[in-house]
Structure 1
């Protein structure tokens, strides 16, 4: 049985011309997107390449340099380096294990897609018609990949400082704070004690009040030589987490 010929060969056989002109944004659309990005490209080629999905490669004679795949590869590394720098600066007392947990969440495909969706990046992508309605999984991978490609495009166009500025604007304020807030404060306090060579936290129930079906617990957490804090909750676990969070905040403030 004859194997099907590649798409570009089928087009040639049918006498159709393979398009050579690369897709571009109009000046109005470019200005609109650059405003959303917070960055103006000196060489717009980097922007157009970052927006071009690999599904169009066959339309351009298989030119891998043209799609955003290679930029995505570079952008992933730039994002990782910048995010590692930001987390180390933001959490000087936290151990590597804690930073790693947050890091992987912040550089994940889901996080990149969320950033892209916040600036409606999907509206500007150059995609094959079959891909335009092809969103699979829990997030839009084409948008996530394009965000990484945008980071690389900014890096190639304006250098590391420009790429770092883009990431700070679109990641560090909202996403970092959210990921931190989702971490178990008891685990975070334990990590802090280990990193600072302190005795581990001790939790003690100070009081239990209220009816059996709606109890209220008061818990004190203490770290010898460092301080203590008290909080209440509707269960022992809730009160312990609240107390750990309060003490940790006080310790991090120094």
Structure 2
């Protein structure tokens, strides 16, 4: 005897479809989320669709228009275009290679998840209970996908300028952080010295240890009259950058 098909399949075979109310935010939750997003939807259906995880599709007879997958697809392209424009404007003298590295960091799943976490998006996402722990590596994929979908939802609801305003607002700190991480710590320390009218940093090898094929350098970075710091590296250059980074953090912390 063949096993009985699931109820949903039997209903579809008989020409019937499941009618179930699609998930919606309460008026209070909508107001709270739109405040965090910095955008008020004219057509709230775009927001509801952007928040609906594809794990719920089977609950609504497999309707591909129902979940946020199609919006996520569009949002990825809108985010890419706007981010490329932002990078071109912010770094007019940088070469394509530098811009490409920064671009891929800023539109990655990790970056989108960080933006979503900063907004506090997770509690507003509609998803199946089995997907409550939906992480890919070190980031929450449900949040990352929903952020891309929200970019598209804002684009469909308010146009390209509305999407650009949203991205500029929520990715700006990410942009600053990525920019700093791309720069050589010694360059950043020199910039700090110049901005604070301090002597430029000097670097001295304090110790060289380990075998010739695997040396370890201990280097001291010093800004006369302001401070010093030491750190290690597998080469002199690596140790100097580590010491510069440590000293710069100390200088910024002490200035605050």
After TM superposition, the structure 1 = structure 2 runs for residues 237-252 of structure 1, keeping only pairs within 5 Å, are: 237=237, 238-239=239-240
Q: Tell me the equivalent position of 1:202.
A: none
Mapped to 1, the partners of 2:69 and 2:8 lie a distance apart of 19
- Kept in 1, the 8 Å contact 2:203–2:240? The answer is no
SS in 1 for 2:85: helix
- TM-score, normalising length: structure 1: 0.72
Please say if 1:159 is aligned against 2:178.
no
1:136, distance to aligned residue in structure 2 (A): 4.5
After TM superposition, the structure 1 = structure 2 runs for residues 59-74 of structure 1, keeping only pairs within 5 Å, are: 59-74=59-74
1:62, distance to aligned residue in structure 2 (A): 1.0
1:138, distance to aligned residue in structure 2 (A): 1.2
Choose 4-13 or 51-60, whichever is displaced more. 4-13
After TM superposition, the structure 1 = structure 2 runs for residues 1-254 of structure 1, keeping only pairs within 5 Å, are: 5=5, 8-9=8-9, 18-172=18-172, 174-185=173-184, 208=204, 216=220, 234=230, 236-237=236-237, 238-239=239-240
Cα offsets for 1:197-224 (capped at 9, x unmatched): xxxxxxxxx8747687965468xxxxxx
Number of aligned positions between the proteins: 216
Mapped to 2, the partners of 1:2 and 1:207 lie a distance apart of 78
Q: In structure 2, do the counterparts of structure 1 residues 103 and 2 end up closer, same or farther at CA, with 3 Å as the change threshold?
A: farther
1:18, distance to aligned residue in structure 2 (A): 2.6
Following TM superposition, the consecutive aligned residue runs of length 4 or more in structure 1 with deviations greater than 3 angstroms are 1-7, 10-13, 133-136, 186-189, 206-218, 232-236, 238-243
1:4, distance to aligned residue in structure 2 (A): 8.1
Q: In structure 2, do the counterparts of structure 1 residues 19 and 102 end up closer, same or farther at CA, with 3 Å as the change threshold?
A: same
- Kept in 1, the 8 Å contact 2:219–2:240? The answer is no
Mapped to 2, the partners of 1:2 and 1:136 lie a distance apart of 38
- Gaps (5+ residues) in structure 1? 190-205, 219-231, 247-254
- Kept in 2, the 8 Å contact 1:53–1:68? The answer is yes
1:6, distance to aligned residue in structure 2 (A): 6.5
Cα RMSD for the two superposed structures: 3.6
- Kept in 2, the 8 Å contact 1:19–1:59? The answer is no
- Kept in 1, the 8 Å contact 2:73–2:149? The answer is yes
Q: In structure 2, do the counterparts of structure 1 residues 181 and 149 end up closer, same or farther at CA, with 3 Å as the change threshold?
A: same
SS in 2 for 1:182: helix
Cα offsets for 1:38-73 (capped at 9, x unmatched): 000000010000011111111111110111000000
